[in-house]
Amino acid sequence: MVRFLPSEEYGRTLPLFTECFGEDEAFCRRYYGEQGQGDIYRGRVAVLEEDGEILSMVHVKDMTLRTSAVVAADVEKYVLPRLTDTKPEEVCFAYLLCIGTAVNHRGRGYMDEVLAFVENELRQNGCQFSFLVAVDKAIYKPRGYEYYFPLSAESQEQLYADEGLTEGTVKFL
């Protein structure tokens, strides 16, 4: 089953988070917190689960140009010109991060299912595009993430991009 977790269940994703990203549990708890009230993360988590086990996840941070000034500057410069009939103050988009699938369940299309679920929900809510910062662009290109734009150093810091990851990857919805 694919669904968005209620914030009180975010803690259930800690084992998958640490498996996929190698972060220690203390960082993870600070990142998005047991009850979705972490120091850093403010967003939603979509998961695919079977028999109560979370096998794949995507964190979704809803954004607008007004609420994310640093990232907004990069988006306004590189992404908005590709959209037509759009007023900057109306642009709704999402940053997808912490995309991961349990190692022993990879290659089964689980990430595709979660991404499709998230993208469908974003479209229904009027979002015009989603973006991510990919460690391996080849994974996301067949899924429609084909437009790349440079991220300023400030955006990289705000997005918690790993060192050396300097581009956003966009899918227009």
170: exposed, middle or buried (Cβ count in 10 Å: 0-12, 13-18, 19+): buried
Mean pLDDT for the stretch of residues 79-108: 84
Domains and CATH numbers, the chain: 2-172 (3.40.630.30)
Mean pLDDT of the chain: 84
pLDDT digits (tens, 9 = 90+) for 52-82: 999 999 999 888 766 556 677 788 788 877 8
Amino acid (one-letter) located at 9: E
- % of the chain residues with pLDDT over 70: 82
Higher pLDDT, 2 or 80: 2
Residue type, 86: T
Confidence of residue 104 (pLDDT cuts 50, 70, 90): very high
